[in-house]
Amino acid sequence: MAFAKDGAKWGYIDKTGKYVITPQFDEAGAFADGLAKVRIGQQSGYIDAAGHFAIKPQYDNAGEFCEGLAGVVVKGKCGYVDMTGTFVIPPQLDIAGGFQNGLALVKVDTKWGFIDKNGKYVITPQFDEAGAFADGLAKVRIGEKIGYIDESGKFVWEHIVVPPPDFVPYEKAPNPIKRVAPVYPEIARKKGLDGTVWVKIWVGKDGKPRNVVIQKSTSDIFDQAAIDAARQFVFTPAMIQNGPVDVWVSIPLYFRLR
């Protein structure tokens, strides 16, 4: 079955295009492990292939099932439930990825690591960036060191990337072609706080951020949200003599409630 939209609601169609689960959901996802994530109003749950709720809507957000477990969000924290909706790993993570070969990529505070299906850290959170394992290897970054680790967390290949100096001459300045608005920190929203964070982005030759550092901030409450947003920017690269160069770019990110 495939999810399809009719007007404002989502349902599921068969190979002939006929609706086998009538459009009734505000959001719908693909079936995985026999269940599909759906949302009604502000709550997410899971349905079976007959369209019946296997896990009633109760989560703020939810991901697909992978290897019998799914990451869900409750009050801003991520945990994992089994196919009955029972928490196997309680909501205590900031980001929870899907399981692959018994490991899941997770984020705690500002660092990434890997857990097993019992919630035990197999590789402790230590990476500034990390990707899921594929063929037994995962790409990670710690500061300026990038490389690949095996499933024990050992580097099997690494490379130190030297950042550019603060000033690099160029003929054509980098230009942002994709901007991402920062997510407003819930604690700042509850306190009614506005803020501004000035970030310095290392823009690589491919136009993608290689690193982001805080230059100045009105409150550290906003810092991580600003870094996360800046890492998703995309630029046209700086050019000199018809070739791209790495440079630093400074930009402000604004947090305004009004």
* Single-letter residue type at 23: P
User: Does 143 score more than 90 pLDDT?
Assistant: no
Range list of H helices, the chain: 186-191, 223-230
Is residue 93 classed as helix, strand or coil in its secondary structure?
strand
DSSP single-letter state for residue 94: S
The pLDDT tens digits for 191-248 are 899 999 999 999 999 999 999 999 999 999 999 999 999 999 999 999 998 799 999 9
Section 156-176 average pLDDT: 92
Averaged pLDDT score across all residues of the chain:
95
What pairs with residue 248 in β-bridges? 202
Phi first, then psi: what are they for 224, rounded to 5°? -65, -40
Section 161-177 average pLDDT: 92
Tell me the pTM.
0.73
Is-contact 157 149, C-beta < 8 A?
no
The pLDDT tens digits for 17-36 are 999 999 999 999 999 999 99
The pLDDT tens digits for 93-118 are 999 999 999 999 999 998 999 999 99
Please tell me the distance from the alpha carbon of residue 217 to that of residue 202, in angstroms, as a whole number. 18
Residue 190: pLDDT band by 50, 70, 90 thresholds? confident
Residues 6+ apart with CB under 8 A from 60: 42, 43, 44, 72, 73, 74, 75, 76
Helix (H) or strand (E) holding 12: strand 9-13
Percent of the chain with pLDDT over 90: 91
The CATH classification of domain 175-255, taken from the options 3.40.630.10, 3.40.190.290, 3.30.2420.10, 3.40.50.720? 3.30.2420.10
Phi first, then psi: what are they for 186, rounded to 5°? -65, -35
Please tell me the distance from the alpha carbon of residue 256 to that of residue 227, in angstroms, as a whole number. 17
Helix (H) or strand (E) holding 13: strand 9-13
Domain residue ranges of the chain, discontinuous segments joined by +: 175-255
Provide the token pair at 140: 């990670």
What pairs with residue 36 in β-bridges? 31, 47
Residue 186's CB is within 10 A of a number of other CB atoms, namely 11
Section 181-199 average pLDDT: 92
